């Protein structure tokens, strides 16, 4: 048995240990060290040979926590005769670990045991310091395990694990840019991509594809390269929204293989700061399907089953959703298998505004109650439209309506265009176009959404309550381009005034009694224009002064008390 702890470092501070073991059963007296929250890794090497190890065998680790609670951790086939386990112990203390193999006669893999001594984490990595992401008690937002609030500002790198976004330079450059701008999470697909046939060369990484061409077995080398990228995000405080595959892979590879794929992802990455997105375009059939209605049903039932399966094998209970064509709730037979609702609301520039607002509000009013956020809308620059002013509108309209975060995307990044070779045609015969990814990285909308997040995080943003009635006029089904407003009780009122032909019309706030400091914020550069101290009249009315220039604005009224 060859074992190694911490084969890869999460924050380059993982305590490493190695122990040689005899072929006899190990006792819990064998001791190793780890750090709370930091992925610890160990491996098992089988002396017995298997014709098809990936399909012939499953290995798990049973971890007994200091509390006495047990967690079952799936191991992943690391290639050859090796299986590895990654586990992030949640708290300091003494843990006991015992392996369980489906071949109980294999004493190299079954019933191997050791004791794990876990020290407290002392660093500043946000996810290690505060713990994995979970759904907040208000069922509207995300937070860390210790209750620290998490602002979801996502970016979309669907094909970010392929070699067209080269490792390390390209990937690290994009990550650094997004970190500097304030993004907190990246959407990334685990190798089974949209907009191409399976095993299209555009989807390969440096070692090939994630599966053999007939879906016979996984390719561990592909995931060794993917690990470097996922780990880099984690090292730098970026969470990953792991998308298992595009939904149409379920009828193509079959439900059993889809579950194997997800078991492998959970085994590889559940120790990292992740959320699970079971599939992209969950129930959308393949672009050229001859049985679209049948495929959609197969995908819907399959995703429901996969959601339950992932929940049953994930020891860290990471939040689960689906990237949909409309709403994640509609992609499963039972919405209660999901933890939050992800939305996709269109790519038609301003024409997507009505559907975006209506879909957001419809989901927020639906049961079961769960956080709602847009996962895809109007990639910046797509179809030579959806520029930064549309990105700002979508962000502010969604957040002030009550979403638990927001996800941005740039045309050129999601499909990883390069200067040498644009992405090219999708299976339907058309191309989405767009600039190279490093040009798309600099489109202004990404930075402006970071400024929007920075403004909100000056306050208790997680307490925002949609209050459209605080401003008159306000948006309605008759006019979606009127102001949006929300309130942080006892702290601030935030309103967004879209640029429209009616922007010169009088705007009146209906304010709770009190005194306020008011100012305009230019959402393009975060510059502020002071209004000063204001108080509503006896009826709670306060007329907004004329806007500084003709454009969209954010108005903040801080409660002086």
Instruction: Dig out the tokens for 286 from the structure.
Output: 């393949």
Query: Rounded to an integer, what distance in angstroms lies between the CA atom of residue 332 and that of residue 416?
Result: 30
Contact 153/184 with Cβ under 8 angstroms? yes
**d(C-alpha 77, C-alpha 376), whole Å:** 33
Instruction: Supply φ then ψ for residue 127, to 5 degrees.
Output: -75, -30
Q: Which pair of tokens denotes residue 412?
A: 């050129």
Q: pLDDT tens digits for 424-447? A: 999 999 999 999 999 999 999 999
**Among 559, 499, 502, 489, which residue's Cα sits nearest to residue 524?**
499
The H or E element spanning position 174 is helix 169-181
Q: Sorting pLDDT into bands at 50, 70 and 90, what band is 501?
A: confident
- Cα 116 to Cα 40: distance, rounded to the nearest angstrom: 10
* pLDDT tens profile 187-245: 999 999 999 999 999 999 999 999 999 999 999 999 999 999 999 999 999 999 999 99
Q: In which band, very low, low, confident or very high, does the pLDDT at 29 lie, cut at 50, 70 and 90? A: low
Q: Residue 353: which residues within 8 A CB-CB, separation 6 or more?
A: 393, 394, 397, 480, 481
pLDDT tens digits along 464-476: 999 999 999 999 9
Rounded to whole angstroms, the Cα distance separating 235 from 126 reads 10
Does the pLDDT of residue 168 top 70, yes or no? yes
Query: What's the pLDDT band for 27 if we cut at 50, 70, 90?
Result: low
Confidence of residue 500 (pLDDT cuts 50, 70, 90): confident
Q: What is the pLDDT of residue 561?
A: 83
CA distance 527 to 506: 23
Q: Is the peptide bond before 555 cis (omega within 30 degrees of 0)?
A: no
Lowest mean pLDDT among 95-104, 446-455, 498-507: 498-507
**Are the C-beta atoms of residues 245 and 279 closer than 8 Å to each other?**
yes
Q: How far from each other are the two terminal CA atoms of the chain, in whole angstroms?
A: 66
- The pTM for the full model equals 0.93
**What's the length of the chain?**
561
Decide if pLDDT at 18 tops 70.
no
pLDDT of the residue at 465: 98
Mean per-residue pLDDT, 267-277 = 98
Going along the chain from its start, the domains and CATH numbers come out as: 31-123 (2.60.40.10), 140-460 (3.20.20.80), 467-559 (2.60.40.1180)
> Alpha-carbon distance 53 to 504, whole Å?
70
| Contact yes or no for 401/466 (Cβ under 8 A) | yes
CA distance 85 to 76: 7
Look at residue 19 in the predicted model and tell me its pLDDT: 32
- Span of 419-423, 481-485, 492-496, 519-523 with lowest mean pLDDT: 419-423
Q: What distance in Å separates the CA atoms of residue 463 and residue 557, rounded to the nearest whole number?
A: 15
Span 310-324, average pLDDT: 97
Residues 6+ apart with CB under 8 A from 553: 496, 497, 520, 521, 522, 523, 547
pLDDT of the residue at 1: 38
Mean pLDDT value across residues 57-74:
97
pLDDT, the chain, mean: 94
Handedness of CA 459, 502, 475, 342 (dihedral sign): negative
Give residue 28's pLDDT band: very low, low, confident or very high (50, 70, 90). Answer: low
| C-alpha to C-alpha distance for 502 and 42, rounded to whole angstroms | 63
User: How many other CB atoms are there within 10 angstroms of residue 87's CB atom?
Assistant: 23
Residue 459 CA to residue 486 CA, distance in Å, equals 13
| Angle 250-164-389 from CA coordinates, rounded to 5° | 85
Q: Cα dihedral sign for 28, 31, 36, 37?
A: negative
Mind listing the pLDDT tens digit for each residue in 386-415? 999 999 999 999 999 999 999 999 999 999
């Amino acid at each position: 048995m060859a074992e190694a702890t911490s084969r890869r470092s999460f924050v380059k501070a993982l305590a490493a240990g190695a122990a040689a073991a005899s072929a006899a059963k190990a006792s819990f007296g064998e001791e190793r060290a780890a750090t709370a929250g930091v992925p610890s890794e160990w491996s098992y090497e089988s002396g017995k040979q298997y014709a098809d190890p990936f399909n012939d065998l499953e290995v798990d680790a049973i971890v007994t926590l200091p509390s006495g609670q047990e967690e079952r951790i799936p191991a992943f086939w690391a290639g050859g005769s090796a299986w590895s386990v990654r586990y992030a112990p949640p708290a300091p203390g003494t843990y006991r670990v015992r392996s369980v193999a489906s071949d109980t006669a294999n004493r190299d893999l079954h019933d191997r045991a050791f004791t794990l001594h876990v020290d407290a984490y002392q660093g500043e990595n946000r996810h290690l310091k505060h713990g994995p992401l979970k759904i907040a008690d208000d069922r509207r937002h995300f937070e860390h395990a210790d209750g620290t609030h998490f602002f979801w500002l996502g970016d979309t790198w669907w094909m970010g694990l392929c070699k067209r976004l080269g490792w390390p330079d390209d990937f690290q450059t994009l990550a650094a840019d997004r970190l500097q701008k304030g993004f907190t999470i990246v959407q990334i697909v685990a190798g089974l991509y949209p907009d191409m046939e399976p095993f299209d060369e555009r989807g390969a990484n440096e070692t090939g594809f994630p599966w053999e061409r007939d879906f016979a077995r996984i390719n561990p080398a592909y995931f060794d390269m993917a690990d470097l990228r996922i780990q880099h995000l984690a090292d730098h405080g970026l969470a990953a929204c792991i998308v298992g595959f595009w939904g149409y892979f379920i009828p193509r590879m079959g439900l059993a293989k889809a579950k194997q794929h997800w078991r492998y992802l959970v085994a590889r990455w559940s120790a990292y700061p992740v959320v699970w997105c079971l599939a992209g375009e969950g129930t959308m059939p393949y672009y050229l399907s001859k049985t679209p209605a049948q495929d959609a049903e197969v995908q819907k039932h399959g995703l429901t089953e996969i959601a339950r399966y992932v929940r049953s094998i994930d020891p860290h209970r990471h939040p689960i959703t689906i990237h949909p064509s409309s709403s994640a709730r509609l992609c499963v037979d039972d919405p209660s298998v999901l933890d939050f609702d992800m939305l996709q609301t269109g790519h038609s520039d301003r024409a997507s505004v009505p559907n975006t607002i209506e879909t957001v509000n419809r989901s927020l009013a639906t049961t079961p109650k769960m956080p709602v956020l847009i996962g895809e809308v109007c990639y910046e620059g797509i179809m030579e439209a959806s520029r930064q002013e549309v990105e700002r509108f979508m962000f502010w309209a969604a957040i002030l309506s009550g979403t638990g975060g927001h996800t941005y995307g740039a045309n050129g990044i999601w499909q990883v265009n390069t200067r040498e070779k644009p992405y090219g045609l999708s299976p339907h015969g058309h191309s989405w176009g767009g600039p190279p990814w490093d040009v798309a990285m600099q489109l202004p909308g990404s930075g402006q959404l970071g400024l929007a997040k920075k403004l909100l995080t000056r306050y208790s943003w997680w307490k925002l309550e949609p209050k459209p009635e605080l401003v008159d006029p306000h948006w309605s089904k008759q006019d979606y381009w009127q102001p949006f407003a929300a309130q942080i009780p006892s702290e601030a009122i935030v309103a967004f005034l879209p640029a429209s032909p009616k922007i010169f019309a009088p705007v009146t706030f209906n304010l709770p009694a009190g005194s306020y400091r008011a100012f305009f914020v230019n959402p393009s550069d975060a510059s502020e224009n002071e209004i000063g101290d204001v108080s509503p009249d006896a009826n709670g009315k306060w007329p907004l002064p004329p806007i500084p220039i003709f454009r969209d604005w954010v108005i903040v009224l801080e409660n002086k008390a």
